[in-house]
């Protein structure tokens, strides 16, 4: 299967996976509340999913290096489907937690394995394009999923979970019949087996650890903004939930469009310059957000942030796999793991800072961007990379 044929298939797979995931986002809080969840328990319900992904993404990445990408991708999608149906059948709060734990554990396989698949089938020249396509698919799934979930929630609160479970199940069947194995194409497949504790230690001691921490700070910044911006915009610009939905949709579409152009951007500028520019632009967007006054400024400033943030992960993924000294699945697993950790800490930190001053999450976002930029410069220096 050629790269030109497989990338559209991977795009569709990730779009459908994230569509299913996004469908439940607007419904889960109300569903959990009906089963007696407090605000704290709802926060834990959200966090436990990301925590399971943080713990198990590297494991699934290494498994895909050994047994192949296709079975691990299928298992991850099956885990999503199973968790959605378990949520639909839940009659007690503890059942929601079981569903989220199972979903987080198994679906942790999806992102690192798909990114590793891209690394398997693309040349270094086309790596950025492939990672950008996956990023665009993920973003579009997040945009359209909540809209679909909102529509079906009018039937009843269980309906979106059944729809999401069915979409995921059909996606798994699609993978089984359409997607071919790729690991035999990877020049990283022959790697010695290492114990988990040793692998973690090795990962943190390599120069690539800087890229993992860069991803962590970027994820903290993004998730902190997502957790607080609705409140901030309501105070500063009087925006309601409907307006906020449009603002995030505009940001998501712009980010997806830029990610879809990563092939052209990478060939022209290279990953290093794109990552540097992405960090600077996202920090600029954070600063401008403080000046939000109405719907237009909210949309424009958030879009500037989204474009900058959106080009960072595909470029980091591309650069990481080019520099990898171990299997693609292992390194993309660690990247996903650090992103998940950022999504656990970000909303908590953002909420706490917001309570001090409503603009503090965005000031801290600028600081985190500066730290990420510094880490990246250290990475460049240690690896003696040319900025070009």
CA angle 341, 369, 285 (to 5 degrees): 110
| pLDDT single digits (tens) 341-363 | 999 999 989 999 999 999 999 99
| pLDDT single digits (tens) 289-305 | 999 999 999 999 999 99
Q: Would you give the DSSP letter of residue 184?
A: G
Mean pLDDT of 175-202: 63
299 CB burial (10 A radius; 0-12, 13-18, 19+)? buried
For residue 25, what pLDDT is reported?
84
Cα within 13 Å of Cα(369), Cβ side: 27
Matching CATH number, 1-185, of 2.30.30.140, 1.20.1250.20, 1.10.3720.10, 3.40.50.1240? 1.20.1250.20
Mean pLDDT of 203-221: 82
Residue 118: pLDDT band with limits 50, 70, 90: very high
For residue 323, what pLDDT is reported?
83
Q: Is 291 helix (H, G, I), strand (E, B) or coil?
A: coil
Mean pLDDT of 94-101: 96
| pLDDT single digits (tens) 13-26 | 999 999 998 999 88
Instruction: Give yes or no for residue 186 having a pLDDT over 60.
Output: no
Instruction: Give yes or no for residue 201 having a pLDDT over 80.
Output: no
Structure-model confidence comparison of residues 323 and 268, the more confident one: 268
Instruction: Give yes or no for residue 383 having a pLDDT over 90.
Output: no
**pTM attached to this predicted model:** 0.89
For residue 207, what pLDDT is reported?
65
For residue 92, what pLDDT is reported?
95
Looking at the domain that runs over 195-388, which CATH code has it been given? 1.20.1250.20
| pLDDT single digits (tens) 59-92 | 999 999 999 999 999 999 999 999 999 999 999 9
Nearest residue to 202 (alpha-carbon basis) of 77, 327, 104, 378: 327
The full set of domain ranges for the chain reads 1-185, 195-388
Instruction: Give yes or no for residue 8 having a pLDDT over 90.
Output: yes
| pLDDT single digits (tens) 242-257 | 888 889 899 999 999 9
For residue 196, what pLDDT is reported?
46
- The structure tokens listed for 160 are 């979106």
Instruction: Give yes or no for residue 222 having a pLDDT over 70.
Output: yes
102-111, 137-146, 322-331: least confidently modelled range: 322-331
Structure-model confidence comparison of residues 252 and 325, the more confident one: 252
For residue 38, what pLDDT is reported?
87
| pLDDT single digits (tens) 26-50 | 889 889 989 998 878 888 898 899 9
Q: What Cα–Cα distance (Å) separates residue 36 from each residue in 23, 65, 102?
A: 22, 42, 21
Instruction: Give yes or no for residue 12 having a pLDDT over 80.
Output: yes
Report the b/e string of 172-185 with b at 16+ CB within 10 A: bebbeeebeebbeb
Instruction: Give yes or no for residue 382 having a pLDDT over 70.
Output: yes
Mean pLDDT of the chain: 89
DSSP 134-177: HHHHHHHHHHHHHHHHHHHTTT-TTHHHHHHHHHHHHHHHHHHH
């Amino acid at each position: 299967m050629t790269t030109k044929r497989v990338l559209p298939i991977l795009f569709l797979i990730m779009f459908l996976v994230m569509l299913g995931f996004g469908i439940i986002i607007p419904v889960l809080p109300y569903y959990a509340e009906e089963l007696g969840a407090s605000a704290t328990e709802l926060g834990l319900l959200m966090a436990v999913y990301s925590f399971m992904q943080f713990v198990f993404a590297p494991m699934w990445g290494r498994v895909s290096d050994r047994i192949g990408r296709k079975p691990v991708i299928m298992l991850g999608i099956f885990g999503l489907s199973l968790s959605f149906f378990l949520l639909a059948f839940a009659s007690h709060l503890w059942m929601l937690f079981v569903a989220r734990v199972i979903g987080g554990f198994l679906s942790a396989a999806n992102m690192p394995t798909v990114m590793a698949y891209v690394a398997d089938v693309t040349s270094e020249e086309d790596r950025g394009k492939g990672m950008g396509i996956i990023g665009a698919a993920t973003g579009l799934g997040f945009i359209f999923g909540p809209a679909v979930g909102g529509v079906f929630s009018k039937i009843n609160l269980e309906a979106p979970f059944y729809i999401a479970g069915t979409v995921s199940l059909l996606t798994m069947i699609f993978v089984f019949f359409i997607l071919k194995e790729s690991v035999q194409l990877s020049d990283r497949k022959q790697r010695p087996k290492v114990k988990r504790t040793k692998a973690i230690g090795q990962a943190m001691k390599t120069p690539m650890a800087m890229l993992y921490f860069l991803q962590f700070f970027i994820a903290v910044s993004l998730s902190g903004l997502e957790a607080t911006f609705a409140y901030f915009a309501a105070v500063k610009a009087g925006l309601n939930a409907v307006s906020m939905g449009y603002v995030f949709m505009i940001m998501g579409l712009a980010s997806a469009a830029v990610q879809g152009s990563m092939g052209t951007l990478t060939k022209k500028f290279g990953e290093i310059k794109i990552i540097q520019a992405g960090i600077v632009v996202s920090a600029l967007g954070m600063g401008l957000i403080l000046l939000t006054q109405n719907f237009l400024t909210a949309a424009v400033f958030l879009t500037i942030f989204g474009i900058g943030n959106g080009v960072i992960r595909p470029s980091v993924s591309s650069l990481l796999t080019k520099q990898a000294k171990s299997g693609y699945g292992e390194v993309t697993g660690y990247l996903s793991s650090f992103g998940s950790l950022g999504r656990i800490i970000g909303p908590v930190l953002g909420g706490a800072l917001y309570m001090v001053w409503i603009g503090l999450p965005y000031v801290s976002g600028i600081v985190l961007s500066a730290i990420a930029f510094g880490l990246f410069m250290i990475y460049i220096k240690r690896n003696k990379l040319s900025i070009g």
